[in-house]
Amino acid sequence: MESFQTTEDNWDAKLYDIKHSFVSKYGNSLVELLNPQQGEKILDLGCGTGDLANKLYESGVEIVGVDKSQNMVEQATRKYSQIQFKVQDATNLDYNNEFDAVFSNATLHWVQPAIQALHAIYKSLKQGGRFVAEFGGKGNVQTITDEIILQIKEAGFEFNKKQFPWFYPSIAEYSTLMEEAGFRVTFAQHFDRPTPLDGVNGLKNWIEMFGNHLFDGIPDHTRDEIVTNVENNLKGILYKDGNWIADYKRIRVIGVK
């Protein structure tokens, strides 16, 4: 999940579960890469509403889920009261040499500075422990974000790079940071994962859920016009057979302490 957004908690955890549950569904294959072993102690970093933490729990590991969003942690706790969930910031984890693995799905593109999070992850792991993560990589959803930024400018507003809330590194860039934090990088992959966004309003819903910061300082009615323009201009490229297909690009990494 991806709730290391800002200092303020603007995640709607219930809406997230209703409209964006695909995020944890895609995470199932990352669990295979993690290859959890019974009895291992694993940290789910950016646990969101807890679905993957629960999958890990059911596979027999001792799991702790952390997320920066209190709303997400409360929803996760409501759904899976048998699991310990906590509010924690990825750049400032409160653990030392505790985990056999740190697992993170669809979160780390929200986290900056990345190196600070990598130091915190490294510190949380036992010697020999592994860090297994997937998140947005270089070029992720760029067709969508380029068009939003273009339409913001066309509407007469400035777009400051600081409003772009994501970090989408190449595997070269991220592996270098991992090595700087002390990891031995044993696996790194960058791949396209075209992602269907449900129904005719899929793109609008996605922008509403995840892209709010791009519109900071823009009045609601202008924002709505911009989103409509984005939909119109991208329809020929990203809309197929009744679904929007977002141009997700992922990176996957494994690092060993």
- CB of 31 within 8 A of CB of 56? yes
Residues from 41 through 100 that contact ligand BEZ (CB under 6 A): none
Query: Angle at CA 220, nearest 5°, toward 217 and 221?
Result: 125
CB nearer ligand BEZ, residue 11 or residue 248 = 248
CB of 145 to ligand BEZ, least distance (A): 8
141 touches ligand BEZ (CB under 6 A): yes
- CB of 76 within 8 A of CB of 56? no
Region binding ligand BEZ by CB under 6 A among candidate stretches 117-125, 134-142, 174-182, 235-243: 134-142
Length of the chain: 257
Cross-sheet strand order for the sheet of 243-246: 195-197, 243-246, 239-240
Name which position in 47, 76, 106, 121 contacts ligand BEZ (CB under 6 A).
106
30 touches ligand BEZ (CB under 6 A): no
248 touches ligand BEZ (CB under 6 A): yes
Region binding ligand BEZ by CB under 6 A among candidate stretches 64-72, 121-129, 135-143, 220-228: 135-143
CB of 256 to ligand BEZ, least distance (A): 25
CB nearer ligand BEZ, residue 117 or residue 125 = 117
Name which position in 131, 210, 215, 244 contacts ligand BEZ (CB under 6 A).
210
178 touches ligand BEZ (CB under 6 A): no
144 touches ligand BEZ (CB under 6 A): no
CB nearer ligand BEZ, residue 27 or residue 129 = 27
What does the binding site for ligand BEZ look like in residue numbers (CB under 6 A)? 2, 106, 109, 136, 140-141, 166, 210, 248
